[in-house]
């Protein structure tokens, strides 16, 4: 299990705590500190498309209209913190966010 998130993200911290309580020990990739590889970025965009971009983020609000119109893969390459989080990958299967459906998948609720 690989967990893409931010150390400073409350949702990511809650998700990691819940995953640990459920017996998971994911490899944590901090998108700000560690970055996101081109292969992972490509897979995330292929799976989620435009939905992979967090338009509620501070980073998004700081972009110009021209930057906001860029391709999602280019945006994520330039600004990894724009990625909606957390993104979790297990054996090639990807999930995004920490809503009830994702929690049920990993926590068995």
Q: Which residues are catalytic?
A: 9
Comparing CA positions, the residue from 75, 107, 84 lying closest to residue 12 is 84
Distance CA 1, CA 76 (A): 21
DSSP SS3 for 67: helix
């Amino acid at each position: 299990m690989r967990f893409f998130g931010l150390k400073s993200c409350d949702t990511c911290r809650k998700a990691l705590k819940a995953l640990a309580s459920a017996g998971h020990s994911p490899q944590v990739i901090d998108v700000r500190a560690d970055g996101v590889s081109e292969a992972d970025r490509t897979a995330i965009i292929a799976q989620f498309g435009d939905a992979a971009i967090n338009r509620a983020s501070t980073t998004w609000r700081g972009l110009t209209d021209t930057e906001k119109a860029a391709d999602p893969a280019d945006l994520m390459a330039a600004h990894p913190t724009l990625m909606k989080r957390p993104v979790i990958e297990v054996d090639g299967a990807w999930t995004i966010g920490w809503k009830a459906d994702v929690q049920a998948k990993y926590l068995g609720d």
